[in-house]
């Protein structure tokens, strides 16, 4: 809804969500925006890039917000969304990763469950998490440093594997705590994107990252 209401406006907003009730609720709210809004039910790892191919021009600037709850967002999807755009600049990405899942999935005093290994290997392109877990087990780094190290790896993959020019990460914590729960990750090939997100990441309140743009949520 923020993307639909912001001005200057996006030409087209494509939203994809797995849960049918959420699709129907968002579809009703977005109906007033006519064919600028397209709300689709789908699995982002299977259906998103196909939907982009069908509904978005490949040569226009594209901004993708990827907002998983846990480990649903596969690296292959990030890679395919990034490469969707034709021309010198890739899709701009803003990813909100709930990095607290790393501690839950990687116990230090027990074996890591196979399903968690599989899930992490879908979210990240290399098993860097193994080395980070080992350093935590050896008390070389704290959990917070472990999450930071994982995000540094993610940023490095965006830069080196996908070739993004500007990549920024920003921890987000819960109110009353300094421990990070989420990390925002931004990637762009445009200097304006870097400038805007530098400002946002610098000035946003760490516990209240949503910019309440006046009038937008009335
Ligand atoms: C953190 S919420 C996103 C909320 C939304 N961005 C918002 O601001 O209201 C994550 C959403 O991802 C959906 N989801 C989970 N797995 C998905 C998948 N594979 N494809 C598409 N959506 C998925 C969940 O149903 C959930 O609504």
The answer on pLDDT for 197 being more than 70 is yes
pLDDT for 216 = 44
Whether the predicted pLDDT of 19 surpasses 80: yes
**CA-only gyration radius of the chain, Å:** 18
Q: What is the pLDDT of residue 43?
A: 98
Better-predicted residue by pLDDT, 175 or 30? 30
Q: What pLDDT is stored for residue 177 in this prediction?
A: 79
Name, of 138-142, 175-179, 206-210, the range with top average pLDDT: 138-142
For the Cβ of 97 lying below 6 angstroms from any atom of ligand 1, the answer is no
* Total residue count of the chain as it appears in this document: 218
* Mutation test residue for ligand 1: of 3, 4, 16, 19, the one with most atoms within 8 Å of CB: 19
Per-residue pLDDT at 215 exceeds 70:
no
Give yes or no for residue 217 CB within 6 A of ligand 1: no
> What is the average pLDDT across 21-28?
97
Strands 92-97 and 180-188: antiparallel
Lowest-pLDDT choice from 24-28, 50-54, 110-114, 171-175? 171-175
**Residue 22, ligand 1, Cβ within 6 A:** yes
174 close to 208: Cβ distance less than 8 angstroms? no
The pLDDT tens digits for 75-115 are 999 999 999 999 899 999 999 998 888 888 999 999 999 99
Give percent of the chain above pLDDT 70: 94
pLDDT (tens digit, 9 = 90+) per residue, 104-143? 899 999 999 999 999 999 999 999 999 999 999 999 999 9
Calpha distance 137→208 (Å, rounded): 32
What does the alpha-carbon distance between residue 15 and residue 44 come to, in Å, rounded to a whole number? 10
- Helix (H) / strand (E) containing 95: strand 92-97
Per-residue pLDDT of 155-172, as tens digits, reads 999 999 999 999 999 998
Query: 144 CB under 6 A from ligand 1?
Result: no
20 contact partners, CB below 8 Å, separation of at least 6: 41
Domain spans, the chain? 1-42, 57-203
pLDDT of 27 > 80? The answer is yes
The pLDDT mean for the chain works out to 92
Judge if pTM exceeds 0.85: yes
Q: Which residue has the higher pLDDT, 187 or 8?
A: 187
Three-state SS sequence of 45-86: HHHHHHHHHHHCCCCCCCEEEECCCCCCCCHHHHHHHHCCCC
Establish how many alpha carbons lie within 13 A of residue 56's alpha carbon, considering only the half-sphere containing its beta carbon: 26
């Amino acid at each position: 809804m923020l993307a639909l209401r912001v001005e200057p406006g996006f030409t087209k907003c494509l939203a994809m969500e797995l849960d049918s009730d959420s699709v129907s609720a968002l579809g009703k709210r977005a109906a007033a925006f006519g064919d600028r809004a397209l709300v689709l039910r789908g699995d982002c790892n299977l259906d998103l890039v196909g939907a982009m191919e069908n509904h978005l021009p490949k040569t226009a600037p594209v901004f993708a917000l990827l907002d998983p709850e846990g480990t649903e967002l596969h690296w292959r999807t990030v890679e395919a969304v990034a490469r969707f755009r034709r021309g010198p600049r890739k899709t701009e990405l803003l990813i909100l990763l709930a990095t607290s899942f790393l501690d839950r999935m990687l116990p230090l005093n027990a074996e890591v469950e196979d399903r968690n290994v599989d899930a992490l290997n879908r979210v990240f392109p290399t098993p860097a998490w193994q080395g980070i877990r080992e350093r935590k087990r050896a008390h070389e780094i704290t959990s917070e440093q472990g999450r930071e190290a994982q995000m540094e790896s993610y940023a490095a993959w965006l830069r080196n594997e996908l070739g993004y020019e500007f990549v920024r990460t920003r921890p987000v914590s819960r109110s009353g705590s300094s421990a990070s729960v989420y990390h925002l990750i931004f990637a762009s090939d445009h200097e304006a994107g870097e400038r805007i997100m530098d400002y946002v990441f610098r000035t946003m309140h760490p516990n209240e990252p949503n910019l309440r743009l006046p009038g937008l949520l009335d």
